[in-house]
């Protein structure tokens, strides 16, 4: 019994930290969740980006691209003038930094950007378990990450598109995404990222 | 009467047939002319270049031209080439430059974005959202500012920030700038300026990054030394 006590205490403490603790589980079937920005052969999506880090303003274009003959994709952030600030490679559900301009090459910035992008790009089937729960003020899809102390709350609209995604580490949200759509079945037209612990905000507006 | 109608119809048909035949005959010629026109426009800056014989003469001419230029305005087309993109990203806009360091760089398509550099301050209008900050406090913009102003003004021949090589072909001078500053080297590996030989006006700028991706900016409708109002270099 003593052998299992630490594990039991850890489980209780993890569960008590979870933001899911006050939510009621239902028996409804979980609808299939597609990534917010699905990567596949010949993906080419371009957003206008406005990034504010500690009151420093950066703007440019966010490019999501997978070539037809590749099984990995790239996310690149370039200035309007075409100078590349950042390039990340998405492969097997992980983001790898290929290039980062010195000013952006900080662990805290890359981690926050990486988490933000993985929430948009991640394929749920392989790395997540999901549970449907009901709140009194509306329907929630609760996506519980396999890693300890990480949760994503997806608030779906009537067309089954996520409108708000809250990313939790512990009881307080780390960041919140607000998504707006022009048409059903399309990627979001506007994505707003607000970090809750860092002065870090991103607004993406689709142009292509 | 019937015969007359038939004859008229016959003549019309013959005329139509001969017109069609004429069009078919002209079509390859038309295509060839069009191809030549397109080729001449796009290949001018791509023709092979060789080192100039007397670079100091060119240096002086370009430096004099740059010294004489007080204002410059033009339309531009920007093509961003990245190795992982199959199609370049194209944006268009207009810019105004006034010596020494006043610049309005305005994108109109596919998005509205204006950057104004005025005496060390950068103002940005990002689709209605305005922001302002000092160039000195922002390393990235300091580098970008330097690159834009250098490219637009052509004031590079006596610039000790770049190693300069001058090449030429029948129509263009190609000035290759390799930055000496390690901060700039991180952003730009090489900058190529294409100046019209007869006008010494800047026609194209190619900025090549350390990854060999590049941005090609082509200028059109250049207007030199026309007065530009001070209000152009503010966002109000």
ipTM: 0.71
Q: Which residues of B touch A71 (CB under 8 A)?
A: none
Q: Which comes out higher in pLDDT, residue A146 or A104?
A: A104
Query: What is the rounded CA–CA span in Å between residue A121 and residue A38?
Result: 6
Q: Output the pLDDT for position B39.
A: 43
Q: Output the pLDDT for position A64.
A: 93
Q: Which residues of B touch A81 (CB under 8 A)?
A: 78, 105, 144, 147-148, 207, 215
Contact A65 B85 (CB under 8 A): yes
Nearest to A193 by CA among A175, A205, A168, A181: A175
DSSP string computed for A117-131:
HHHHH--HHHHEEEE
Domain span including residue B172: 2-233
CB-nearest partner of B89 from A46, A56, A101:
A46
Give me the number of domains chain B comprises.
Answer: 1
DSSP state of A136: T
Structure token digits, residue B153: 């003004």
Residues with Cβ within 8 Å of residue B188, at least 6 apart in sequence: A83, B147, B179, B207, B208, B209
Q: Which residues of A touch B78 (CB under 8 A)?
A: 81-82
In chain B, the percentage of residues whose pLDDT exceeds 90 is: 28
Give the burial class of B29: count Cβ atoms within 10 A of its Cβ; 0-12 exposed, 13-18 middle, 19 or more buried: exposed
Contact of B161 with B181, CB cutoff 8 Å? yes
Average pLDDT over chain A, rounded to an integer: 79
Pick from B76, B78, B81, B84 the residue to mutate for testing the A interface (most A CBs within 10 Å).
B84
DSSP state of A32: P
Contact A81 B78 (CB under 8 A): yes
Question: Residue A115: pLDDT above 90?
Answer: no
Contact of A150 with A169, CB cutoff 8 Å? yes
Residues in chain B with pLDDT < 70?
Answer: 1-47, 137-148, 151-159
A151 min Cα distance to partner chain B (Å):
33
Query: What is the rounded CA–CA span in Å between residue B226 and residue B72?
Result: 7
CATH code at B166?
2.50.20.10
Tell me if residue B129 falls in helix, strand or coil.
strand
């Amino acid at each position: 019994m003593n052998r299992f006590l630490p594990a039991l205490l850890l489980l209780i403490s993890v569960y008590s930290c979870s933001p899911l603790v006050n939510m009621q589980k239902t028996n409804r079937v979980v609808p299939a969740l597609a990534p917010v920005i699905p990567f596949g052969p010949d993906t080419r999506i371009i957003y206008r980006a406005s990034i504010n880090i500690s009151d420093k303003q950066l703007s440019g274009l966010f490019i999501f691209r997978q070539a037809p003959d590749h099984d990995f994709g790239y996310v690149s952030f370039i200035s309007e003038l075409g100078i590349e600030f950042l390039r990340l490679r998405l492969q097997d559900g992980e983001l790898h930094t290929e290039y980062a301009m010195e000013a952006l090459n900080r662990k805290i910035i890359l981690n926050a950007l990486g988490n933000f992008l993985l929430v948009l790009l991640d394929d749920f089937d392989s790395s997540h378990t999901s549970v449907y729960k009901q709140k009194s003020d509306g329907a929630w899809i609760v996506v519980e990450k396999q890693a300890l102390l990480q949760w994503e709350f997806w608030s779906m609209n009537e067309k089954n598109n996520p409108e708000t995604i809250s990313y939790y580490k512990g009881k307080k949200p780390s960041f919140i995404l607000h998504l707006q759509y022009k048409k059903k079945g399309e990627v979001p037209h506007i994505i707003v990222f607000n970090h809750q612990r860092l002065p870090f905000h991103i607004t993406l507006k689709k142009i292509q | 009467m019937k015969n007359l109608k038939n004859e008229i119809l016959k003549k019309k048909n013959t005329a139509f047939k001969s017109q069609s035949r004429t069009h078919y005959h002209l079509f390859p010629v038309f295509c060839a002319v069009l191809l030549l026109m397109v080729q001449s426009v796009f290949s001018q800056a791509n023709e092979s270049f060789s080192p100039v014989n007397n670079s100091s003469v060119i240096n002086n001419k370009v430096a004099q031209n740059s010294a004489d230029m007080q204002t410059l305005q033009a339309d531009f087309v920007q093509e961003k080439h990245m190795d992982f993109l199959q199609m370049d990203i194209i944006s268009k806009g207009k810019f105004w430059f006034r010596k020494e360091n006043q610049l309005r760089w305005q994108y109109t398509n596919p998005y509205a974005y204006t950057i104004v550099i005025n005496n060390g301050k950068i103002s940005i209008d990002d689709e209605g959202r305005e922001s302002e900050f000092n160039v000195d406090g922002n390393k990235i913009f300091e580098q970008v500012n330097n690159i834009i102003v250098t490219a637009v003004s052509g004031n590079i021949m006596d610039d000790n920030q770049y190693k300069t090589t001058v090449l030429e072909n029948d129509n263009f001078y190609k000035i290759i700038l390799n930055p000496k500053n390690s901060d700039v080297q991180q952003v730009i590996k090489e900058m190529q300026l294409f100046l019209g030989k007869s006008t010494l006006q800047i026609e194209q700028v190619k900025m090549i990054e350390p990854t060999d991706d590049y941005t090609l900016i082509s200028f059109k409708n250049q207007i030199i030394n026309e007065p530009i109002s001070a209000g152009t270099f503010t966002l109000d």
